[in-house]
Structure 1
Amino acid sequence: MVLNIALLISSSYLTSAVSMIYFQHRFRGFPEPSVDLKYVGLSVFLVGTVGNFYHHYLLCKLRDKNDSRYKIPRGGLFGLVVCPHYLFEILTFIGISLISQTLFSYLCAAGSAAYLLARSRATRNWYRSKFEDFLKNVKALIPYVF
């Protein structure tokens, strides 16, 4: 990944995290939501984090140090979607928003989901253009749907 893109993505995640902490602090003392989704959010967050880590691990093991050729990832959910790590990253953001239950966190989760949805679609189109043996039924982000 190009350094400026990595810095842009990292700074956007940092800004979102700092903003969510700020808004959480600002709303301290306000009435709590009527339904506590903290434990549901924690469960969704953990599933998202573990799934994201696992699929990034599969991507990390895809090529040897001396191999510079692109390959189609295998294992995990890669047989169903091109970017399962994006799917699990979205679940992580949903988990965070369920824990904090603020409008800003829901907007951050929705914005991140929209961005990753577009990136996964572009990634799927790239795979289809580069590999003749790319499976046609593999979706971009959501198994069997999109």
Structure 2
Amino acid sequence: MNMLESILYPPPPSLFINAMSAATVILLANSGISEVRGRNMAYSKFSNWKEAVSGKSSSTITGTKASGRTAMLLVYSPALAAALASFFIPGVVTTPRQALVSAALGVHFLKRVLEILFIHKFSGNMMVHSSIPITFSYFTNTVLIIVSQYLSTGMPEPDINLTYAGIVLFLVGITGNFYHHYLLSKLREKGDKAYKIPTGGLFNLVICPHYLFEIIDHFGIALISQTLHSYCFAFGSMFYLMGRSVATRNWYMSKFENFRTGVKALVPYIF
């Protein structure tokens, strides 16, 4: 407990936020397990999972569809708006740490939006109802991280200040994530919708280096924040992305006979 107290603010005096922190880890970890079991969130290469499971064509599946670009903008824009709004709501951002947390969240989601607009290439449509849980998760957890930081005002500071370590991790994570997203975008020429085995960067060692750097990004924000909810979201995201990366590796192995079995899912040489 002493170690935790040295790197964490005391839990906020809010039963709701503390319960949501525990629920975040549990729900995201369960989502990671579901990914491994084949119940994948329907975006990216898994966007047609209903057809694969049901044997129905996309035309027989009911529900509102949006282009992949529009759907992913729907996923990230509310969280970006929440991060930016925190600077304009009186009293929410009053300390350097609070400003850094809101800024890091804002940069994280602004990068995502800009990538969707200018970097990513999308291969198809996405069911709108599939994007809603992801949108809700990002928006809710962004708000809860900011509110947890606000509630830490006046509480004893953690004995170990991890702010600078968090900034370094955040910059490494967001840069590495962007670089590997850029490499993915270069796999397709204009109009090309076929999937290919990615190469370059850490893709020669793991199939999801962009997830690895996203995890580093989330832990960077957690170290800047040092609140219970920020750590819970970072760990929950890690568990989910671990499951997603395993599912992605399995997908590539099933689709490409020349996929190298030595390429790991997430962590080079290890996992």
- Alpha-carbon separation, structure 2, partners of 1:55 and 1:141: 13
Report the Cα distance in structure 1 between the residues aligned to 2:151 and 2:170, rounded to whole angstroms: 23
Q: Partner of 1:122: helix, strand, or coil?
A: helix
Contiguous gaps of at least 5 residues in structure 1: none
Using the alignment, how far apart are the partners of 2:134 and 2:175 within structure 1?
A: 20
Superposed displacement of residue 142, structure 1? 0.5
Higher radius of gyration, 1 or 2 = 2
Deviation string, structure 1 residues 107-133 (Cα, Å, up to 9, x no partner) = 100000000000000000000000000
Q: In structure 1, give the amino acid aligned to 2:235.
A: A
Are residues 1:49 and 2:49 paired?
no
CA distance in 2 between partners of 1:8 and 1:53 (Å):
24
Greater Cα offset, 83-92 or 60-69: 60-69
Alignment match, 2:138: 13
More divergent stretch after superposition (23-32 vs 62-71): 62-71
- 1:51-94 C-alpha deviation (Å, 9 max, x unpaired): 00011111111111232221000111000000000000000000
- Of 249, 261, 270 in structure 2, the residue corresponding to residue 124 of structure 1 is 249
Query: TM (normalized to structure 2)?
Result: 0.52
* Aligned counterpart, 2:183: 58
Counterpart residue number, 1:36:
161
Name the count of aligned residue pairs.
146
Instruction: Indicate the SS of the match to 2:203.
Output: coil
Larger displacement relative to structure 2 (13-22 or 115-124): 13-22
**Normalised TM-score (structure 1):** 0.95
CA-atom RMSD in angstroms: 1.1
- Classify the secondary structure of the residue corresponding to 2:202: coil
